[in-house]
Structure 1
């Protein structure tokens, strides 16, 4: 290998290392800016709003790292019948917090200024349990992915049939409330993509 090629490989490796260090530095700074708050602790009993939201004395708490079906969301069974998966997710969380011996902790807030928390009953992580039972999805790239895969493989909760991701369901309802007919938009896109208009 010529000296020129070796030098070029060395420079390329050096560029990759510097880029990786820069990205890691940005992530570190972002984490410090976001998560540097004081830890807040909330102790039960709690009122359950839906599958990922609790309330206590006027404060709403959002279970971090998960996304459960919305309260009025429906899913489909294996034989394509609708079932109220949003209400079932709420009932699952009600069951997990019912004895009142629950503690929720967190340092961050979401965009609605709700504390983002991880809740425990003794040594049981309730956020994990919601994903493990199939009544919530992992909301992060790495958080609770193993539990979600297990629930999916074992066809638990919403994984037993068909469902729309809660984030997608919320987006479509928002468009409906704004007077946008989402089905017409999709039909128009299909028409354009089919190239029948050429």
Structure 2
């Protein structure tokens, strides 16, 4: 009877692992920063850091003095300075609707999300409280982009979507990757990438929207270079 129950438990564990193969996966590799909340470490898909949200390329911030900066560039450069080229270990928890891996990543034991929020280069994502203490510390110190007037990244993205809808072929639900055709060939742009907001999609030119990076690659598109 004991042998029988051990066999049943083993089969159940195998079933759960097959049903959610990413749940307990650990990925490792050198960090290439895509933006302040998304990295690449040589895995099949880019990694979205869990619990944080960062300014997008082209999103502007303003000081009380009137100085205006591209806060997406500042956030990305800050992440590059801290983590680019260093080896990260990422604990995977799933995927998002853009087919990016969702994970908590560490470099030499330092949680990338916590460090970016504490430095004022990223914010907590929506109602996620994982890094609430780090965000409070950054806000009180006026650290990083908290020294500027800045829209929450999700608010800015929503405004950009509204603006793009008037000048670009609309995206199907859940399909936000832009397949652009230019002199450089067929290139796809992920949300948050440097040229994403400025890229317009015209079906008349053969351009299209994709629901995942896997779909874009299979159709012959390649990722945009940084």
2:60 pairs with 1:60:
no
Shift in Å at residue 80 of structure 1? 2.2
Per-residue CA deviation, residues 126-163 of structure 1 (Å, 9 max, x unaligned), is 10001000010101342211111110000011110200
| Distance (Å, rounded) in 1 between the aligned partners of 2:128 and 2:90 | 22
Matches within 5 A, 1:1-198: 37-57=22-42, 59-139=45-125, 140-179=127-166
Runs of 5+ consecutive residues of structure 2 not aligned to the other structure: 1-18, 168-226
Secondary structure, counterpart of 2:30 in structure 1: coil
Shift in Å at residue 39 of structure 1? 2.0
| Distance (Å, rounded) in 2 between the aligned partners of 1:123 and 1:54 | 17
| Distance (Å, rounded) in 1 between the aligned partners of 2:160 and 2:123 | 19
Per-residue CA deviation, residues 51-89 of structure 1 (Å, 9 max, x unaligned), is 101124452110010000012211112312211110111
Greater helix content: 1
Greater strand content: 2
Large movers: runs of 4+ above 4 Å:
34-37
Secondary structure, counterpart of 1:131 in structure 2: helix
Secondary structure, counterpart of 1:112 in structure 2: coil
| Distance (Å, rounded) in 1 between the aligned partners of 2:87 and 2:150 | 32
Q: How many residues align?
A: 147
Distance 1:100 1:176, change over 3 A: same
| Distance (Å, rounded) in 2 between the aligned partners of 1:136 and 1:46 | 17
Shift in Å at residue 99 of structure 1? 4.3
| Distance (Å, rounded) in 2 between the aligned partners of 1:40 and 1:91 | 29
| Distance (Å, rounded) in 1 between the aligned partners of 2:134 and 2:119 | 9
| Distance (Å, rounded) in 2 between the aligned partners of 1:77 and 1:143 | 28
8 Å Cα contact 2:106-2:112 kept in structure 1 = yes
**TM-score (norm: length of structure 2):** 0.60
Distance 1:102 1:75, change over 3 A: same
Provide the alpha-carbon RMSD of the alignment. Answer: 2.0
